[in-house]
A = this chain, B = another copy of it.
Amino acid sequence: MTVATRRTQDQRSAETRRLLLSATVKMLMEVGYANTSTAGIAKRAGVSRGAQTHHYPSKMALIVAATEEMFGNFASRLEVLAADLNNGDLDYDKFFEAVWEEVLHGDWFYSSLEIIVAARGDTELREQLSPLIIDLHQRFERIWTETFVALNPDVITSKVALNLALNVFRGMAVQAVLRRDEAYFREMLMALKTMLASHVQPAKSAQ
């Protein structure tokens, strides 16, 4: 239009796709799946609807691609936190607080919740997302088992403790939609840390 910044086709494509996926995640996060239309995404991304359908012919293709990227981003973020715990930049308490912060205020949790709930009523979407979630979960388990060791593996393994913690976070985040009460969630998080502490400890401190 104004200055013709010359780019290769690949560069143009990649940029457009990036804008679309980012806009998709942000819209899911901010207004929910029900209020996320393909036209809205295109507008938010600053891309024409034609460009959008060119790269992602259906809404599902767009959602699935956005989910893939979002899961990847979150796992990476978690890897960083785990590394921080391992090398001493974070202690046990701060680690969980950072994860909770990430869940509550990061891009990922609520957009994934929207997608999961949408998938409940859409067989095809569910089938497309299922492998992505399983992948993500395996990445979680790998990160976690490299970071925490169980005190009594016969009673509660490290893996189960991870899943318990994850599910508490999930549940809390859902509850937070209709109940904004920071003190309540702080108390809950403290209780979770206390209960977990008697079953797992950071691998680093076990050396």
Contact = CB atoms under 8 A, between A and B. Distances in A.
A188 B171 contact: no
B174 A188 contact: no
Contacts of A35: 121
Chain B CB count within 10 A is highest, among A169, A191, A194, for A191
A195 B188 contact: no
Contacts of A34: 33-34, 118, 121
A104 interface: no
A13 interface: no
A54 interface: no
Contacts of A32: 117-118, 120-122
A164 B170 contact: no
Contacts of A172: 167
Chain B CB count within 10 A is highest, among A134, A163, A171, A172, for A171
Chain B CB count within 10 A is highest, among A164, A184, A194, for A164
Interface in A111-130: 113-114, 116-122, 126, 129-130
A76 interface: no
A31 B30 CA distance: 23
A1 interface: no
A35 to B, nearest CB: 5
A85 interface: no
A114 B116 contact: no
B199 A195 contact: yes
A99 interface: no
Contact of A164 (B168, B198, B199): B168
